[in-house]
């Protein structure tokens, strides 16, 4: 039968004249050297644990909110005041006693001197004694206070200095090891709100601790960088549709001409003689997309919507080159899912794009360069100190080059294999969050680069209608492969103190497959309307997109 220490003062380590009661606050601990062991009770007490406290005031007694972690060899267990009775134990302000099945199963049988640790993982109390039965049926296996070496207040240290015991690092997943290291350094030294945060996380189960460390870290999935890049890429796609819609014919007939004049019988390269007075174009497009990214590799999923407008102007040069420029505005709304449900980001993007194109005898080349200014607004629920809000800006630089070679399948049908690449550099400025107290983050600026290959094929046709207008349908299949898919690394620090920590970002999606359909309607040689709808898919990723286009030639 387990005897509480209140009834067996012989197990108070304070009986030794050199030992004193030890006051422990959350995040503090002590390493004890067990010099001698008490005989076991013959097996009936195997796994019994009793711990003695000073009692009295809340600061010295075992009381609501307190938690203590004991580690002997391979056995570690945290006991809480609030959960003691429900777990089958008994307690008051001066002691608790309970049977630990995990201690019984650990099979610990000490020989000689042994060291072990006591850590306050929540609250505060004054520790005075203990009796811990490790293995039943064997003499000399019970840890007791009278057999302890010197114990006094000068031996109290931060829990992080006691190795894995009581530390957050052993619990953390790989992506949160650095923030766990910072929490361990704060453990036992923090007061106020940060001290309360450490105490709250310390009292959690390991699974809850891992989740908490994710939530107090910056969002590092593919979402923010991916959404910013996707917005810019959508603008380049819009320009690409503009260039694709201009091209008619096959081979030497594949210059930049209107389908309307192509059906009128003109077969010159570049502009037809009837178009020379109409070598400039102004165009306007509205575009949008809806995408979803599933949870993967410990990162939360998300849903995002992009919508925007783009206006451009281009002119046909006398040497056959088409040169143009465009400006776009796009808004991206991101809503996080899974364990980050409720977190969100808004991105406003302002982009300038320059583009060119040239048809040669058997092939053509298109190119685009872009610069975008992007304004970010983020919301992140820490679930401990409130919602952290961030506001920062960034830049994006991009380039795309594509070459194609049209082949005639019939008088009205052509197949165009195409090959290209695109590269982007996304830069995000540093910022400091507000609204979440000590868990608001000061985030340093960072950047990430992407390099993608583009391989695809387009099937297109055109037909003249009874009113002399021309319909030109096209279907395109594209494979986009990412060569540089390493995740962006965020370097942050808590506003409430502690060192800087690094959070490794999620890898970008390696392969994306896109299918799109386009329908151009040239009402005359001056006016044109077009509609394109498309879908993309990759690992844990799906997207639907569309755009409406209008052009005026003059």
Which has more pLDDT, 387 or 526?
Answer: 387
Residue 513 has pLDDT above 60, yes or no: yes
Poorest-pLDDT segment among 157-161, 179-183, 545-549? 157-161
Q: What is the pLDDT of residue 240?
A: 82
As given in the structure block, the two tokens for residue 363 are 């092939």
The model's confidence at residue 63, banded by pLDDT at 50, 70 and 90, is very high
Other residues' Cβ atoms within 10 Å of the Cβ of residue 524: 13
Q: In the predicted model, what is the mean pLDDT of residues 242-251?
A: 62
Q: What is the pLDDT of residue 489?
A: 81
Decide if 527 contacts 535 (C-beta within 8 A).
Answer: no
Decide if 325 contacts 314 (C-beta within 8 A).
Answer: yes
As given in the structure block, the two tokens for residue 68 are 């203590």
Q: Based on the number of CB atoms within 10 Å of its own CB, is 378 exposed (0-12), middle (13-18) or buried (19 or more)?
A: buried
As given in the structure block, the two tokens for residue 26 are 């959350």
- Tens-place pLDDT, residues 37-57: 887 776 678 889 999 999 999
Q: In the predicted model, what is the mean pLDDT of residues 63-78?
A: 85
Q: What is the pLDDT of residue 266?
A: 45
Residue 222 has pLDDT above 70, yes or no: no
What integer best gives the mean pLDDT of the chain?
A: 85
The model's confidence at residue 298, banded by pLDDT at 50, 70 and 90, is confident
Residue 251 has pLDDT above 60, yes or no: no
The model's confidence at residue 26, banded by pLDDT at 50, 70 and 90, is confident
The model's confidence at residue 221, banded by pLDDT at 50, 70 and 90, is low
C-alpha dihedral over 231, 237, 238, 243, to 10 degrees?
Answer: 160
Q: What is the pLDDT of residue 22?
A: 95
Q: What is the pLDDT of residue 228?
A: 75
Q: What is the pLDDT of residue 448?
A: 86
Domain ranges of the chain: 22-166, 168-216, 220-253+326-553
Please report, in angstroms and rounded to a whole number, the separation of the first and last CA atoms in the chain. Answer: 99
Q: What is the pLDDT of residue 167?
A: 67
Residue 335 has pLDDT above 90, yes or no: yes
Q: What is the pLDDT of residue 140?
A: 65
As given in the structure block, the two tokens for residue 483 are 């060569």
Q: What is the pLDDT of residue 535?
A: 97
- Tens-place pLDDT, residues 109-157: 887 788 999 988 778 899 999 999 887 545 567 898 888 889 999 999 8
- Tens-place pLDDT, residues 428-462: 999 999 999 999 999 999 888 999 999 999 999 98
Could you give the CA distance from residue 140 to residue 502 in angstroms, rounded to a whole number?
48
Q: What is the pLDDT of residue 506?
A: 82
Q: In the predicted model, what is the mean pLDDT of residues 229-248?
A: 77
The model's confidence at residue 277, banded by pLDDT at 50, 70 and 90, is low
Could you give the CA distance from residue 543 to residue 294 in angstroms, rounded to a whole number?
12
Does the domain formed by 220-253+326-553 have CATH 2.40.128.130?
Answer: yes
Q: What is the pLDDT of residue 290?
A: 94
């Amino acid at each position: 039968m387990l005897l509480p220490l209140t009834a067996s003062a012989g197990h108070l380590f304070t009986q030794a004249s050199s030992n004193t009661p030890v006051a422990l606050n959350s995040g503090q601990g002590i390493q004890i050297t067990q010099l001698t062991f008490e005989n076991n009770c013959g097996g009936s007490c195997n796994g019994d644990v009793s711990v003695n406290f000073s009692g009295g005031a809340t600061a010295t007694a075992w009381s609501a909110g307190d938690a203590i972690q004991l580690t002997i060899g391979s056995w570690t267990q945290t006991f809480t005041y609030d959960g003691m009775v429900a777990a089958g134990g008994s307690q008051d302000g001066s002691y608790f006693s309970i049977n630990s099945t995990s201690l019984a199963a650990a099979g610990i049988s000490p020989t000689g001197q042994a060291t072990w640790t006591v850590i306050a993982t929540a609250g505060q109390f004054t520790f005075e004694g203990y009796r811990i039965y490790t293995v039943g049926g064997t003499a000399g296996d019970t840890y007791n206070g009278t057999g302890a070496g010197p114990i006094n207040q000068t031996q109290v240290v931060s829990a992080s200095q006691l190795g894995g015991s009581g530390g957050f690092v052993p619990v953390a997943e790989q992506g949160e090891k650095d923030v766990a290291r910072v929490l361990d350094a704060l453990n036992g030294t923090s007061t106020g709100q940060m001290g309360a945060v450490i105490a709250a996380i310390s009292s959690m189960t390991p699974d809850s601790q891992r989740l908490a460390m994710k939530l107090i870290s910056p969002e590092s999935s593919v979402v923010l960088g991916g959404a910013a890049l996707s917005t810019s890429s959508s603008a380049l796609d819009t320009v690409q549709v503009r260039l694709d819609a201009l091209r008619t014919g096959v081979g030497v007939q594949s210059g930049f001409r209107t389908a309307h004049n192509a059906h009128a019988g003109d077969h010159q390269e570049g502009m037809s003689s009837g178009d020379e007075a109409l070598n400039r174009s102004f165009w306007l497009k509205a575009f949008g997309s809806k995408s979803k990214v599933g949870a993967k590799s410990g990162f939360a999923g998300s849903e995002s919507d992009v919508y925007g407008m783009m206006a451009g102007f281009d002119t046909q040069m006398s040497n056959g080159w088409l040169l143009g420029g465009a400006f776009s505005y796009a808004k991206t709304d991101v809503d996080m899912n899974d364990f980050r449900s409720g977190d969100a980001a808004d991105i406003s993007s302002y982009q300038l794009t320059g583009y060119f194109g040239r048809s040669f005898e058997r092939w053509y080349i298109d190119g685009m360069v872009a610069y975008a200014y992007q304004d970010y607004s983020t919301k992140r629920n820490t679930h401990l100190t409130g919602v952290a809000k961030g506001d920062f800006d960034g830049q994006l630089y991009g380039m795309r080059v594509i070459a194609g070679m049209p082949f005639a399948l019939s008088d009205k049908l052509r197949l165009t294999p195409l090959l290209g690449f695109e590269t982007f550099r996304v830069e995000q400025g540093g910022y400091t969050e507000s609204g979440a107290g000590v868990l608001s983050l000061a985030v340093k600026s960072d950047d990430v680069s992407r390099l993608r290959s583009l391989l695809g094929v387009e099937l297109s046709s055109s037909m003249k209608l009874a009113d002399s207008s021309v319909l030109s349908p096209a279907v395109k299949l594209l494979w986009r492969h990412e060569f540089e898919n390493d995740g962006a690394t965020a370097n942050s620090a808590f506003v409430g103190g502690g060192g800087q920590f690094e959070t490794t970002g999620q890898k970008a999606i390696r392969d994306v497959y896109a299918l799109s359909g386009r329908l151009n309607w040239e009402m005359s040689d001056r006016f044109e309307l077009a509609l394109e709808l498309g879908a993309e898919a990759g690992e844990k990723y799906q997207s639907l997109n569309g755009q409406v286009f209008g052009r005026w030639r003059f």
